[in-house]
Structure 1
Amino acid sequence: MHAWESIQTTLDLIEERLSEEISIDDLANTANLSPFYYQRLFKRLVNKTVMEYIKLRRLAKASEYLAENKSRILDVALSFGFDSHETFTRSFKKAYGLTPEEYRANSVKLNQFVKPELILNYVMVDEGVPLITDGMVIEVNRKKLSKPRTFVGLEGEIPICQLMGGETTGIAIAKELWMKFGRQKHNIPNQIPDGNDFGALYMGNAKEGNCIYMAGVEVEPGTSVEGYSSFELPAREYLVCGFEAENFDELVDSAVFKADKFMERWMKKHNLTTTDFAIEMYYPSTSEVAYLEHWIVPVPIK
């Protein structure tokens, strides 16, 4: 067994036991490692200490529960391994910038520290060969766009760190933008009936450390709507990373970060970089699967 496989086994175990007591000795024993070496290897592969990672995953699950249930905050805290209301509130505010009470009252979208799938850091596939892991399918192909496509929507400035592989926490600005756009989408004229919803990342006039994100919908060429931004996707060849997840929430909450990380490594392996924009192409979800594509312009590194 590879070292990363041992750590992945314990990541899976942690996820199953977030509401229970978890000891480092038990995790190390599961990984067939000494506690010292297990913690050292875990930090190297996950970029967090074991206990910090467990706390962040507990906060992620607790925040989901807070949004969906009316249980007392103390009961939620105790259910997810926090020993008091105060400890839970302090940890929650440090991670997300607001208290559990404020979160429940405002119902904002949050970025979570995503459970890693370490196989994506170590296994490589060729174009057209799907990689399957933990209910997720990733495949890299090329697509040639014969004519430009036009999209109209809302744009906002977001910190680049929020795009870094699901390793940051806080209010999810891109998700909040999608929620806002969803309430206004009916105002956009000339929508193409079978067109895609669309996300775009580009620098624009964003300040240092940030980028511009646009949430939009495909429209007839030449459409311009006052108060909304437009983006024309040029006709050319694109490198497309398509990925499936079991449902839409899983797709946008964790699969998207895992696919990003895999694609970054895939491009480096193939000596490629990209231009100054990247695209998210959304497809209708069903009860069985949700599907999303990332489109980029591949540029050989000289």
Structure 2
Amino acid sequence: MQDYMMIHQDEKITLRDLAEAAMYSPWHALRAFSELIGKTPFEYLREIRLSTAAIKLRDTNMRILNIAIEASFDSHEGFTKAFTRAFAISPYDYRQCTPPIKLFTYYPIRHYYKTLMKGAEKMSSAVIFTQIIERPERILILKRGIEAKHYFDYCEEVGCDIWGILESIKGALYESIGVWLPESMRKPGTSEYCQAVEMPMNFNGVIPDGFEKITVPKCQYMLFHGEPFQDEDFNDAILTVQNAIKQYNPERYGWKWAPEAGPRFQLSPIGKRGYMEALPVEPIK
């Protein structure tokens, strides 16, 4: 049902459509979705549509009425009320100043159950590509946790909706990332792992409440890129790459790990492109 809504969000969707996608009766489909996700299918669908509309307001010159219609609203007024209720700012005001807002974050419920299996099924073999990339001096906007060392610990401490706020920040250099901060970039009583977005040095926009910005120096990275995978196998794909990293010796190729040069980071695991993780390195002199 989640996948169906993501694919068909621009179309009219009925409970019967969702029930057929789930191969349940409408009553069972509604009950299962509401219990597992914590909101009704149509509350969930509205979050998807409003967040898509926010991106269009931020990044295009489309008329607000046209954006409202594409989001399946019958009127400018109805769209404005719903948008303001969701994000505490009107569509017009959002377009003018684009402050950080909490966008919808797609998190398939099947991932949760796959995680409960604790990676019982591992990919037996895989091809991992490596390359050297460079990040310029930049600003990192992040929200720290408390003791988190990995993503799921971080979600328990901070919540899983941080990504949506980071993705809403205008002018990012790259997509949002999960980062493991080196000791020099941590604060006492805060976590090693957190989520962040990289911004240019001249960024002067709004910092979301509870977030902060730090300056990260120019740094070279060894990027590890795994093979494409089925979405439900995301946990296995991450473990495969991370196991490859543990066994990798960069000195064979003229590099050495430089853990204090910058944060280690991971990109969101997306099946069609494969999982990617990068560690700071420096050339051996």
**If the length of structure 2 is used for normalisation, what is the TM-score?**
0.52
1:156 equivalent among 134, 141, 144: 141
- Provide the rounded CA distance (Å) in 1 between the counterparts of 2:61 and 2:105: 25
* Distance verdict in 2 for CA 1:233–1:75, change over 3 Å: closer
Kept after mapping to 1: 8 A contact 2:162/2:195: no
- Provide the rounded CA distance (Å) in 1 between the counterparts of 2:67 and 2:33: 28
- Provide the rounded CA distance (Å) in 1 between the counterparts of 2:221 and 2:77: 53
The letter of the residue matching 1:294 is: E
Kept after mapping to 2: 8 A contact 1:158/1:173: no
The equivalent residue for 1:90 is 81
Give 1:78 deviation, angstroms: 2.5
Secondary structure of the residue that 2:42 maps to in structure 1? helix
| Unmatched 5+ stretches in structure 1 | 1-9, 130-138, 182-197, 218-226, 246-257, 283-288, 297-302
Deviations 1:118-151 (A, max 9, x none): 665549542643xxxxxxxxx7x698x9xxx997
Kept after mapping to 2: 8 A contact 1:73/1:85: yes
The letter of the residue matching 2:92 is: E
Secondary structure of the residue that 2:123 maps to in structure 1? coil
Deviations 1:27-57 (A, max 9, x none): 2133221222212322455454211211011
- 2:62 pairs with 1:77: no
- 2:172 pairs with 1:178: yes
Secondary structure of the residue that 1:279 maps to in structure 2? strand
- 2:256 pairs with 1:262: no
Extract structure 1 runs of 4+ deviating beyond 6 A: 206-210, 231-235, 289-292
1:215 equivalent among 164, 173, 198: 198
The letter of the residue matching 1:52 is: E
* Distance verdict in 2 for CA 1:118–1:30, change over 3 Å: same
Kept after mapping to 1: 8 A contact 2:105/2:164: no
The equivalent residue for 2:187 is 205
Secondary structure of the residue that 2:138 maps to in structure 1? strand
* Distance verdict in 2 for CA 1:36–1:215, change over 3 Å: same
In terms of fraction of residues, the more strand-rich structure is: 1
| Unmatched 5+ stretches in structure 2 | 146-150, 201-213, 243-258, 280-285
**If the length of structure 1 is used for normalisation, what is the TM-score?**
0.50
Kept after mapping to 2: 8 A contact 1:157/1:211: yes
Q: In the TM superposition, what are the counterparts of 1:91-240 in structure 2 within 5 Å?
A: 91-107=82-98, 112-116=103-107, 120=111, 122=114, 124-126=121-123, 128-129=125-126, 152-158=137-143, 167=161, 171-172=165-166, 175-176=169-170, 178-179=172-173, 200-202=179-181, 204-205=186-187, 211=194, 213=196, 215=198, 228-230=215-217
- What is the aligned-residue RMSD (CA, Å)? 5.4
Give 1:59 deviation, angstroms: 1.4
Give 1:93 deviation, angstroms: 3.2
* Distance verdict in 2 for CA 1:167–1:79, change over 3 Å: same
Equivalent residues, number: 222
Secondary structure of the residue that 2:68 maps to in structure 1? helix
Kept after mapping to 2: 8 A contact 1:67/1:104: yes
* Distance verdict in 2 for CA 1:281–1:120, change over 3 Å: closer
Q: Give the fraction of aligned pairs with identical amino acids, expressed as a percent.
A: 21
1:293 equivalent among 272, 276, 285: 276
Give 1:89 deviation, angstroms: 2.3
The letter of the residue matching 1:178 is: A
* Distance verdict in 2 for CA 1:11–1:155, change over 3 Å: closer
